[in-house]
A and B are shown apart, each in its own frame.
Chain A
Amino acid sequence: MGELAVSASPEDELMSIGLGSCIGVAVVDRARGVAALAHVMLPDAAADPEAPPGKYADRAVPALVEQVERLGARRMRLEAVLVGGAQMFDVGVGSALDIGARNATAVRAALSQARIPVRAEEVGGRRGRTMRLHVGPMTITVKEAGGREVELWSGSPSTRRTPAEVMH
């Protein structure tokens, strides 16, 4: 949670477990076989400058780009997949009004600023999710509590889907 992982090893699997209002942001270079995943908790790092870079949307995206580039990824080939941002409770105390949606907005804005297209997403709703990124086949799966693991995106061209087709 709040963490960021990167890999160029085909046998690796990157995971964000128990995404509620948090968002798992994957940035990949398929041609190079490099992938990174951040577990974003909140939109904006302004008030907490010492936090790990994966925790906030605005700092997570540049950190993801830097990490995959360090392993040889090319910026122009980068693609993103988003999972999470649910609103699990109707209750809000303090500043807690739909953090999931605010996280999604902040992540999309940061990706757009970095000119990284979003290839697939499963965002919103009311359920928690676990996201897995299999680096070798470059596939991303999503599992809800008590549910089955379902493939959301595959890096192979035949099964590629556009964001519009997978929006909920």
Chain B
Amino acid sequence: MSTDYTDLQLDALRELANIGSGTAATALASMLGREVELAVPRALALPLADAVDAVGPADATVSSVVLPITGDIDALVLLLFPPADAATLCGLLGVEPGSEVGDSAIGEIGNILGTSYINALASMAGLALEPKPPHVVCDMLGAIVASLLTGTVGDTGVALVLDSELDVADAACSLSFLLLPTTGGVAELLGRLGVGNA
């Protein structure tokens, strides 16, 4: 099975992810008072099962925050932290890792980063987007990503994942930032970016 997207379309989506995660990185930096570095995002268009594998090892335990997005497009924003990095982040914010307050702090970070990402996306692509409250789940990476992707792309075959990495300077703390649009959502995004299918 090949991907349904052209290189031009994937480049446009990667640029979108770059602007969104750049805005999120700025928000995180000002929240923590530290520099945050941003790797060049990946735009992956793969068969569902391969997309799950591409995100990382299926049996790795990760902390995740999921932010459902509705409006002109439906999508999920997914933040993934190795548990040790989630604990570091809690430490930087002065809350107990693994506690209820810690989970809620992680959820709030997800909320702030996800919202700034989505706002950047919305203004760039001219979309009205509304984030819903975040959900925090700590579980196996494969189980989390597969459960979410089967929901966004269902049986359409190809999953699109926009993957950005954020790295907090001097704190050995990194997180992945994923946008998982529904199949209809990708088509709408590409149309708004002027690289839709005719």
Bin chain B's interface residue count: 35 or more
Q: Which residues of B136-158 have CB atoms within 8 Å of chain A's CB atoms?
A: 137-144, 146-148, 150-157
Residues of A within 8 A of B (CB): 1-3, 17-22, 41-42, 44-48, 50-52, 55-56, 86-96, 99-100, 127-130, 145-146
B76 interface hit (Cβ, 8 Å): yes
**Contacts A21-B150, A48-B156; A145 near B48 (Cβ below 8 A):** no
Does B154 contact A128, Cβ atoms closer than 8 Å? no
Segment touching A, from B11-19, B25-33, B53-61, B87-95 = B53-61
Instruction: Give 22 pairs: A residue, B residue, CB < 8 Å, sorted on A.
Output: A1-B48, A1-B49, A1-B146, A2-B48, A20-B140, A20-B143, A22-B150, A41-B150, A47-B154, A50-B1, A51-B157, A55-B48, A55-B49, A88-B147, A91-B66, A91-B76, A92-B68, A95-B151, A128-B139, A128-B140, A145-B143, A146-B138
Residues of chain B contacted by A93 (CB below 8 angstroms): 68-70, 74-76, 151-152, 182
Most chain B beta-carbon neighbours within 10 Å: one of A20, A51, A55: A20
**Contacts A18-B146, A99-B151, A130-B59; A91 near B68 (Cβ below 8 A):** yes
| In-complex Cβ contact of A42 among B135, B154, B182, B183 (8 A) | B154
Does A94 contact B146, Cβ atoms closer than 8 Å? no
**Contacts A42-B155, A96-B152; A1 near B144 (Cβ below 8 A):** no
Does A41 contact B152, Cβ atoms closer than 8 Å? no
Does A128 contact B48, Cβ atoms closer than 8 Å? no
**How would you classify the secondary structure of chain A's contact residues: helix, strand, loop or mixed?**
loop
Does B52 contact A1, Cβ atoms closer than 8 Å? yes
Does A89 contact B58, Cβ atoms closer than 8 Å? no
**13 further A-B pairs in the complex, CB-CB below 8 A; given A41-B49, A51-B1:** A18-B58, A18-B143, A41-B48, A55-B48, A88-B144, A91-B76, A92-B68, A93-B76, A94-B151, A94-B152, A127-B143, A128-B144, A129-B143
Please report the C-alpha to C-alpha distance between residue A21 and residue B140 in the assembled complex, in whole angstroms. 12
Q: Closest residue of chain A to B53, judged by CB?
A: A1
Min distance, Cβ B118 to any Cβ of chain A, angstroms: 13
Does A86 contact B147, Cβ atoms closer than 8 Å? yes
**CB-CB nearest 9 A-B residue pairs:** A96-B151, A18-B142, A128-B143, A20-B143, A20-B147, A18-B58, A2-B49, A1-B49, A128-B140
Does A95 contact B76, Cβ atoms closer than 8 Å? no
B34 interface hit (Cβ, 8 Å): no
Q: Closest residue of chain A to B62, judged by CB?
A: A145
Q: Closest residue of chain B to A47, judged by CB?
A: B155
Q: Closest residue of chain B to A50, judged by CB?
A: B1
Residues of chain B contacted by A55 (CB below 8 angstroms): 48-49
Does B139 contact A145, Cβ atoms closer than 8 Å? yes
Does A48 contact B66, Cβ atoms closer than 8 Å? no
Min distance, Cβ B125 to any Cβ of chain A, angstroms: 18
Please report the C-alpha to C-alpha distance between residue A35 and residue B184 in the assembled complex, in whole angstroms. 40
Please report the C-alpha to C-alpha distance between residue A22 and residue B47 in the assembled complex, in whole angstroms. 16
Min distance, Cβ A40 to any Cβ of chain B, angstroms: 10
Does A88 contact B143, Cβ atoms closer than 8 Å? yes
Does A17 contact B66, Cβ atoms closer than 8 Å? no
Interface string of B172-198 (1 = CB under 8 A from A): 000000000011100000000000000
Please report the C-alpha to C-alpha distance between residue A1 and residue B146 in the assembled complex, in whole angstroms. 9
Min distance, Cβ A82 to any Cβ of chain B, angstroms: 16
Residues of chain A contacted by B142 (CB below 8 angstroms): 1, 17-20, 128
